[in-house]
Chain A
Amino acid sequence: MQTTKNTTKNTTMSKTSLLALLALCVGGPLLFAQDHYVMSLLVASMVIGGIALSWALLGNLGGMISFGHAAFFGVGAYTSAVLSMKFGVPVLAALLLGGVGALVAALAMLPVLRLRGPYFALAILAYAHIFRILATEWTSMTGGSGGLSSIPPLPTLPGLDLSSKIGAYFVILFIVLVFAVIYARLRESHYGLALRAMHESEDATRVVGVNSVVLKGMMLLLSAFMCGVVGAFNAHYISFLEPDYAFSALWVTIPIVAAIFGGYRSISGPVVGAVVVYLLDQLVFKNIIPSGHQLVLGVLLVAMIVFSPDGLLPLLRKLFKGKFTRSKHAAT
């Protein structure tokens, strides 16, 4: 009984917040459409939001903490860039294939699912290093450490130039929204139920006939696909790639901080967290400490885990709890 109540409450919660988020996301560019700096910040923060969402999907549904999402991001970016540059694949199709590329990379990680919790997290970190080395060494395909430049930009559709800042913003917004819907559907499906049960007790779930390894593997592949598409988008958006950029630890650190900050068990949390954390990082921290400003992100991460591991929202709710209960009593 308690569980059903909680679930309904959660869905209505996330629906309202999703609507508010949507209004904000569409309203944002209308206000700042002419300001290139603000728009580029917004696009970048949505890119982080997309990675954070895919990371949170793996963490929340799959119960796996990944420090290797830079691998998916980078592989997606390189797959899409190489396909569109060397094989003439249209950019929008290449975006999807970038996701497929990351999915294939994740297939190589499946053996790691044999390892439990902390071992899995570290193994996937080790994988990220490998993919960076491959991208650097496979010079004929990736241009080596010199990188790839003049990657074809996003195409122009009738009426909307997707390669402009505004156009790119709507593309990444669309991608993130589609992922959020897939995530929400999945969470409500019977797969989501099995995954939640697995979070409680993996052994008990196996006993009732759920193939936990297959389910976890599917979550890993889906998360990789999402992150790969975001990476591919980013490659076409900035039209330049080099291994140290594509596989940078940045693509792991900021999304994790964002997801933890916004609450990685919700769907809107990671995206909202990404926008807040990225804007804070770029507009405030970077001005105070020009190099090494990620230090503040580290402090933020540590503080969140110690004081409120479920995100900032529960902490705020705790602070305003007195007010809430009083108004509730007044209403009834």
Chain B
Amino acid sequence: MSELILQALYSGLLQGGSYALIALGLALVFGAMRVINLAQGELVLLSAYIAYSVESGMGLNPVLAIPIALVVVCLTSAVVYFVVSRIKKDREINSLILTYGIGVILTNGMLLVWKADIRSTSSEWMQEAFVLGPFYSMRSEVLFFGVSLVMMAGLWWWLSRSWYGRAVRAVSSNRDAAKLMGINPGYTELVSFIVAGILAAFAGVALFSYGVISPAYGGVLTVKAFIITVLAGVGSIPGVLIGAVLLGVAEALTVTLASSALQELAGMGLFLLVLFIMPNGLFGVRGRRG
């Protein structure tokens, strides 16, 4: 039994890596623009479907889909930004409805192009077992956990060390003061959407490499990303990683100890618990309370 639990902890940890990428995309855009992009999950899914097309159409390894996915998803994310930036009033509420509408467009677009069937990778290399001491996983899971860690380190470096990253943080903490310092807020907002697109592209290819996808899955991904940001609180990359791993572990434990149908309930239980006990999240400082 204890081996099973340890194995569940390990799988949850690996799963948490790509959850963190999705949640960071959501958090980054929210930080820069006070807009929750409800189409973030659909962007991830779009990238996963591109990986599927590259694999089934050209017979290539899904990893090779990353360049195409990057271009398509970043462009889509930029389009989302341009539409959102055209909202004239009540941006907080209207942007929610707007990105929800974009999510509906993307979901149904994917349904049209790739049909409603469930897809998963057929690459043997990806599904090969990877043994690490007592733990088992697929190669793809370990590979993309590594990729996620590298991406997060890169994002951390970019946000804290580079000029663009500082500009994004400046706009997020005080828009007017940032303007006075010569930063164009519109530009940093676009950049944050594109970076969220990059994160989504990687997360999508990862999702396709170790899981199953169907057009309706995008909404579930967005909800998961949101639960993670509530767990983590706003404004810390390690916090998001820990929140994502917590969610991954909670889900994996539920699947091991109860049933896979209850997987989503685990995340919700965690979400409500945090909401009741510490409404600002595990690591958050800023108030979210009404």
Contacts and interface: CB of A to CB of B under 8 A. Distances in A.
A binds B: yes
Central interface residue in A249, A289, A293, by most chain B CB within 10 Å: A249
Contact of A306 (B86, B219, B261): B86
A148 B262 CA distance: 21
Contact of A291 (B35, B88, B112, B219): B112
A167 interface: no
B83 interface: yes
Given A114-B275, A297-B104, A305-B97, A129 B112 contact: no
A246 B20 CA distance: 32
A85 B231 CA distance: 41
Interface in A122-140: 122-123, 125-127, 129-130, 133, 136-137
A294 B108 CA distance: 6
A309 B87 contact: yes
B94 A111 contact: no
A113 B288 CA distance: 11
Contact of B108 (A59, A117, A213, A292): A292
B226 A301 contact: no
Interface in A282-317: 289, 291-295, 297-302, 305-306, 309
Q: How many B residues touch the partner, as a band?
A: 35 or more
A257 B101 CA distance: 9
Nearest to B223: A126
Contact of B264 (A116, A130, A257, A289): A130
A129 B223 contact: yes
A253 interface: yes
Contact of A114 (B38, B87, B227, B279): B279
Contacts of A292: 108-109, 111-112
A113 B290 contact: yes
Contact of A67 (B89, B100, B289): B100
B90 interface: yes
B163 interface: no
Contacts of B103: 298
Given A65-B97, A291-B111, A302 B105 contact: yes
Given A126-B223, A129-B268, A305-B94, A114 B261 contact: no
A291 B110 CA distance: 11
Interface in B89-107: 89-90, 92-94, 96-98, 100-107
Central interface residue in A112, A137, A301, by most chain B CB within 10 Å: A301
B231 to A, nearest CB: 12
Contacts of B86: 306
Interface in B251-285: 261-262, 264-265, 268, 271-272, 275-276, 279
Interface in B207-249: 216, 219-220, 222-223, 226-227, 230
A260 interface: yes
Contacts, number: 134
B105 A299 contact: yes
A145 B94 CA distance: 35
Nearest to A112: B275
Given A116-B289, A121-B96, A292-B111, A302 B101 contact: yes
A309 B96 contact: no
Contacts of B129: none
Given A115-B289, A302-B102, A306-B86, A289 B223 contact: no
A125 B265 CA distance: 13
Contacts of A301: 97-98, 100-101, 104
A119 interface: yes
A230 to B, nearest CB: 21
A322 interface: no
A120 B279 CA distance: 12
A256 interface: yes
Contacts of A256: 97, 100
A67 B98 CA distance: 12
B153 interface: no
A213 B290 CA distance: 8
Given A111-B276, A122-B223, A298 B101 contact: yes
Contact of B262 (A116, A119, A133, A302): A133
Contact of B290 (A114, A136, A249): A114
Nearest to A244: B216
A86 to B, nearest CB: 23
17 contacts: A59-B93, A112-B275, A114-B275, A117-B96, A118-B36, A118-B96, A122-B36, A125-B219, A126-B223, A249-B219, A253-B104, A292-B109, A292-B111, A297-B104, A302-B102, A306-B87, A309-B90
Interface of A: 59, 63, 65, 67, 111-123, 125-127, 129-130, 133, 136-137, 202, 213, 249, 253, 256-257, 260, 289, 291-295, 297-302, 305-306, 309
Q: Nearest 8 pairs between A and B by C-beta? A: A301-B101, A298-B104, A298-B105, A295-B108, A292-B108, A292-B111, A292-B112, A118-B36
Given A123-B271, A125-B222, A309-B89, 16 more contacts: A111-B275, A114-B289, A115-B289, A116-B288, A116-B289, A119-B230, A122-B36, A122-B222, A122-B226, A123-B275, A125-B219, A136-B261, A292-B109, A298-B103, A301-B104, A306-B87
